[in-house]
Amino acid sequence: MTDTAQRRTVAKVAVHPVQAPPPAGDRRRRRLADQARAYGFLVGGLVCFALFSWYPAIRAVVIAFQKYTPGGEPEWVGTANFTRVFADPEFTAAWRNTLTFTLLALLIGFAIPFVLALVLNELRHAKAFFRVVVYLPVMIPPVVSALLWKWFYDPGTGLANEALRFLHLPTSNWSNGADTALVSLVIVATWANMGGTVLIYLAALQAIPGELYEAAELDGANVLQRVRHVTIPQTRFVILMLMLLQIIATMQVFTEPFVITGGGPENATVTVLYLIYKYAFLYNDFGGACALSVMLLVLLGAFSSVYLRLTRTEGESA
């Protein structure tokens, strides 16, 4: 502390010496002033949360039971929105596609990053190169990734079929074929998002104590047995967390189907969120959109609460 600052402090203390507690009225006034100040700091954040998180969450539930047009008088319709949405053939398609997408994303997008992290953790050279390169697609805007892959998937001139031809394999319709479109989108999503998963696994692998591997090796365990009995149990928690996060994230998929396939062909890639978008902005049916939103909200809210509970208990025990 500089001299002048010190002197100033001393002067302050001299002017306001610590004395007996002020009378009760004063104390209450000071408490109120403290509260006012605290809420002064809080108010901006509170207003934003109230307007854009809490209120919309309540409103989604309310509108799900209303006939709602912006600017018009809302009208209570009971469960009519739900029955109308249920009867829509796209509803079944959207849920089936979303669940299939999530399942495929778990199969494709889960094993690959784990194996990749396992390999990267053993490599002792060019570590920075691997980390930067695997994360590069994550930094490319999702819209650009989607447009890039749409171009790759082009049945005539696309790079994907060119690669198959180069390897003397039969070509595919990729995102243009009803039976291959969903898988094609999963590949895009995996390519674009894998970097984060790999880096998280790498961090988890580095936290495994080396003695465990040493002990396993002394007991005669080969590499695969070490993976099975040391690596996987030691990273079990991270695997579970990422799995939950991935389920929550992939069930909200929108950009890839919207940009690459437009939901087609034959509704093969219409997802729940895409359907919500269609109800709101194509059919102008906000009641139906909110009914769908509430369904998604309940299902994913359940996954999220499991996730939060697990991270909290694990965080406390660790």
Partner 1 sequence: MSTRTLLSPAALARPRGKAAYWTVFTGTVLLFVIAFLFPVYWMVTGAMKSADEVARTPPTLVPERWQVSGYTDAWDLMQLPTHLWNTVVQAAGAWLFQLVFCTAAAYALSKLRPAFGNVILGGILATLMVPAQALVVPKYLTVADLGLLNDPVAIWLPAVANAFNLYLLKRFFDQLPRDVLEAAEMDGAGRLRTLWSIVLPMSRPVLGVVSIFALVAVWQDFLWPLMVFSDTDKQPISVALVQLSQNIPLTVLIAAMVIASIPMVAMFLAFQRHIIAGIGAGSTKG
CA 77 to chain centre: 33
Interface with partner 1 includes 140 (CB under 8 A)? yes
Asked if 151 contacts 69 with a C-beta cutoff of 8 angstroms, the reply is no
Q: Could you say which of 204, 268, 270, 275 contacts partner 1 (CB under 8 A)?
A: 204
Task: Find the shortest distance in angstroms from Cβ 70 to partner 1.
Answer: 6
Instruction: List the structure tokens of 108.
Output: 């494709």
Interface with partner 1 includes 168 (CB under 8 A)? no
Longest Cα pair distance anywhere in the chain, in angstroms?
91
Instruction: List the structure tokens of 154.
Output: 């082009």
Interface with partner 1 includes 33 (CB under 8 A)? no
Question: What letter would DSSP give residue 283?
Answer: S
Q: Which stretch binds partner 1 (CB under 8 A): 41-49, 83-91, 102-110, 178-186?
A: 41-49
Pick the closer one to partner 1 by CB: 20 or 157.
157
Query: How far is Cα 33 from Cα 138, in angstroms, rounded to an integer?
Result: 47
Task: Find the shortest distance in angstroms from Cβ 202 to partner 1.
Answer: 7
Q: Restricting to residues 222-241, which ones interact with partner 1 according to CB under 8 A?
A: 223, 226-227, 230-231, 238, 241
DSSP per-residue codes, 151-183: HHT-TTT-HHHHHHHHTT-----GGGSTTTHHH
Q: Restricting to residues 120-139, which ones interact with partner 1 according to CB under 8 A?
A: 120-126, 129-137, 139
Task: Find the shortest distance in angstroms from Cβ 63 to partner 1.
Answer: 6
Q: Could you say which of 17, 72, 210, 220 contacts partner 1 (CB under 8 A)?
A: 210
Q: Which stretch binds partner 1 (CB under 8 A): 33-41, 79-87, 94-102, 169-177?
A: 33-41
Region of 128 (left: φ > 0; alpha: ψ -120 to 50; beta: rest) is alpha
Pick the closer one to partner 1 by CB: 69 or 179.
69
Task: Find the shortest distance in angstroms from Cβ 253 to partner 1.
Answer: 9
Quick one: 200 exposed, middle or buried, by C-beta within 10 A (0-12, 13-18, 19+)?
Answer: middle
Q: Which stretch binds partner 1 (CB under 8 A): 19-27, 96-104, 178-186, 274-282?
A: 274-282
DSSP 3-state assignment of 108? helix
- Tell me phi and psi for residue 309, to 5 degrees: -60, -45
Q: Restricting to residues 75-114, which ones interact with partner 1 according to CB under 8 A?
A: none
